[in-house]
């Protein structure tokens, strides 16, 4: 057994038409996995599929609302009917809302919670059912955040959702570990993506981040690849219910 070899495994990565999800999908493919990328924007999804295929990777696409139970069930059934068994699930799809809590409307709160937390539950539950039925174990990797453990002003809904992801990950591990399913999470630090570009473009915030982070830089999506491959591979077969922060050391210092 090669510890980090994913040959013969199929990985579904939600929210992977760009950003962190695409980088993780590429990393899993480079380690031998057949990947299923997911997104709601058809043009972005097709562009990502084309780029990965040109690199020589086995890649499929799927598109559905990760917070819609019926849509999830339909998509997973379609993949199963086509002969694809998901060995690795990366729950990456998510959204941010920057607004003081006192100004957050209920529908905005619910959208963030549903997109970031409820979707992780629905995807994890439905894929775990298939894994348990097959009896061959599997890997579920949830994407948390620095805000899975700490808070900042104006991102209260996001913080609540990502804190929930951390404890949901532990709950999944508690219930599914006996089926040889390892459920863990990654907590990215501040990564340069479309979602964080407004922060990176703000000189005051950028200076604060560089000075606050021991590594003295923003993260890039590729910084997550080693961790996601580790958690998807046999190397982590006795690691369960953990969150690994990939944050340049930010949480380690005051």
Q: Are 16 and 38 in contact (CB under 8 A)?
A: yes
**Catalytic annotation on 158?**
yes
The H-or-E segment that residue 155 falls in is none
Q: What is this structure's pTM? A: 0.97
- pLDDT (tens digit per residue) in 63-118: 999 999 999 999 999 999 999 999 999 999 999 999 999 999 999 999 999 999 99
The pLDDT value given to residue 1: 62
- pLDDT (tens digit per residue) in 193-242: 988 999 999 999 999 999 999 999 999 999 999 999 999 999 999 999 99
Contacts 24+ apart (CB under 8 A), 251-254: 251/146, 251/149, 251/150, 251/189, 252/214, 253/212, 253/214
The pLDDT value given to residue 195: 83
């Amino acid at each position: 057994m090669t510890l980090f070899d994913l040959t013969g495994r199929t990985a579904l990565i939600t929210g992977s038409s760009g950003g962190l999800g695409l980088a993780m999908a590429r990393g899993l493919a480079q380690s031998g996995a057949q990947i299923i990328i997911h997104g709601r924007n058809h043009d972005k999804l097709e562009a990502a599929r084309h780029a990965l295929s040109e690199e020589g990777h086995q890649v499929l696409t799927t598109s559905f609302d990760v917070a819609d139970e019926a849509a999830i069930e339909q998509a997973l059934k379609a993949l199963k009917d086509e002969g694809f068994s998901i060995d690795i699930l990366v729950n990456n799809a998510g959204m941010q809302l920057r607004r003081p809590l006192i100004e957050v409307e209920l529908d905005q709160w619910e959208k963030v919670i549903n997109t970031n937390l409820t979707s992780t539950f629905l995807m994890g539950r439905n894929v775990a059912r298939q894994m348990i039925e097959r009896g061959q174990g599997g890997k579920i990797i949830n994407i948390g955040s620095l805000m899975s453990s700490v808070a900042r002003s104006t991102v209260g809904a996001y913080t609540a959702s990502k804190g929930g992801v951390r404890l949901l990950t532990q709950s999944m591990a508690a219930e599914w570990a006996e089926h040889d399913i390892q459920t863990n999470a990654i907590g990215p630090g501040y990564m340069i993506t479309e979602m964080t570009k407004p922060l990176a473009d703000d000189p005051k915030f950028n200076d604060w981040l560089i000075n606050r982070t021991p590594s003295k830089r923003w993260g890039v999506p590729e910084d997550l690849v080693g961790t996601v491959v580790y958690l998807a591979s046999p190397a982590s077969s006795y690691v369960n219910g953990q969150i690994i922060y990939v944050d340049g050391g930010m949480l380690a210092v005051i």
